[in-house]
Structure 1
Amino acid sequence: MAELSVEEAGILDRLLQIIADEGLVDRNKLLPQAQLDEIGVSADDLVLIGNAIEREFDRDILGDDELEKCVTVRQLLQLFASRIS
């Protein structure tokens, strides 16, 4: 796995914090392989998380079905990171 730049690490950290805050999930449970439904992140939470990320990064995150296809923390982070960059 490639090393993250300082900027990428900062974005990842901020994304994880938003997911924890908006999804009301203990940040320690946000492991890449964690299943969203198993850690308590619902479809409604995903909308709240997406809205918060849109505000934080001033980017359009929602608007298609890709968010609903995410089942792990890794997939969610990859989607958000691709939309932010």
Structure 2
Amino acid sequence: MELLEEVMERPPESIRSPADRLDRDVHDVHDDLNLLAEYDIIHFEEGGRAKKPYVPYDTVRLEFEFGLPRDEGSGSAASA
């Protein structure tokens, strides 16, 4: 989320820029940006050797659902 917000607020000239500003490894930021690109959230402008990430939207709405798988045979309700 922090990376997405950074790219939206200050579109960088390269992938290294947000990595430096967020004090993150450039390879990790590269991987995260590519994942966001797979979901069509981040886009890249090719300019020379640098890929410039940008978000072509004014707002981005993300919906997450987390949960652990439940084993049907072991419920958490107490038996009498």
For this structure pair, what is the TM-score category when the shorter chain's length is used for normalisation? 0.3 to 0.5
Larger relative contact order, structure 1 or 2 (CA cutoff 8 Å, min sep 6):
1
TM-score (norm 2): 0.32
- Larger helix fraction of residues: 1
